[in-house]
Amino acid sequence: MKETYRKASDVELIRRVKSGDTRAFDELMRRYAGSIYRLVYSLARNHMDADDLSQETFIRAYRAIGRYDEQYRFYTWLHRIAVNLCINHLKRKRRVRLVPLPGSEIGGEWQDIADPKSGAEVSELQRDLDRALCKLPVDQRAVIVLRVKEEMSYSEISDVLKIPVGTVMSRLSRARSRLRRLLKEYLPV
């Protein structure tokens, strides 16, 4: 039975979800939770928010599954929900500054201790890169993440963030100059 779900395509699973099959949605979550978490983490920059926002993305997707249009990829649709959720959350949060507790930014008790790269093994470069990305304003961070990590085109970014392509260009250019200044010791002079 489990195998049937594993082998089913996204479209097939979505049709099952629409007819009330919750296990099909569980399989979709299993497939995409990691990617959505990675995307949300890149934007939110801490585990607590990434955990909450990635859960919220799936909750919204489940509620809106009836409106899902099969001509788009499921991940694209999910991705869009996650980005908008994140941007709104970060803009709201800008007014309330939270001080992260020590250790809370690296996944707390869920950290994979078997992985030597996690936790304390984070390099100096990774720490500085994280700090630099945290220093970017939300709008600039969003375009750099969508362009560089998610490899979206300017018009796709403009579509997701509902901003003109010209604004995407200028935000990207500003974000790059700022990161270039903040990380100059790691980049060619």
Partner 1 sequence: MKESCKETRRLLSQYVDGELEFSLAARVEAHLKVCPDCRRELAALKALGQMVKEKDKPPKLADEYWDWHRSQVWKRIKTVRRERQDGPHRQGFFWFRLAAVTGGVAVVLIAAVAGWRLLRVNPQKAKAPKVVDNLAAVLVSEQCDKPPEVLRMPVLPCVSIDDTTTVLLRALVETDSSVSEIKVERSSGIELLDSIAVNNIQKAKFRPGIQKGRLVRCWLTVPQKFRSE
Which residues sit at the interface with partner 1, rule CB under 8 A? 22, 26, 29-30, 33-34, 37-38, 41-42, 47, 50-51, 54-55, 58-59, 62-63, 106-107, 110-115, 117-119, 123, 125-126, 129-130, 133, 144, 147-149, 153-154, 169, 172-173, 176, 179-180, 183, 186-189
Residue showing tokens 């085109």 = 153
Q: With contact defined as beta carbons under 8 Å apart, do 52 and 137 qualify?
A: no
Tokens of 116: 């030597």
Question: CB 173 → partner 1: shortest distance, Å?
Answer: 4
**Nearer Cβ to partner 1 (26/139):** 26
**Nearer Cβ to partner 1 (11/59):** 59
Length, in residues, of the chain: 189
Tokens of 106: 């690296």
Residue showing tokens 């403009």 = 158
Question: CB 2 → partner 1: shortest distance, Å?
Answer: 14
**Nearer Cβ to partner 1 (95/115):** 115
Q: With contact defined as beta carbons under 8 Å apart, do 61 and 19 qualify?
A: no
**Nearer Cβ to partner 1 (11/125):** 125
Question: CB 71 → partner 1: shortest distance, Å?
Answer: 25
Distance between CA atoms of residues 176 and 183, nearest Å: 10
CA atoms within 13 A on the CB side of 137: 8
Question: CB 70 → partner 1: shortest distance, Å?
Answer: 22
**Nearer Cβ to partner 1 (3/116):** 116
Question: CB 126 → partner 1: shortest distance, Å?
Answer: 5
Q: With contact defined as beta carbons under 8 Å apart, do 44 and 90 qualify?
A: yes
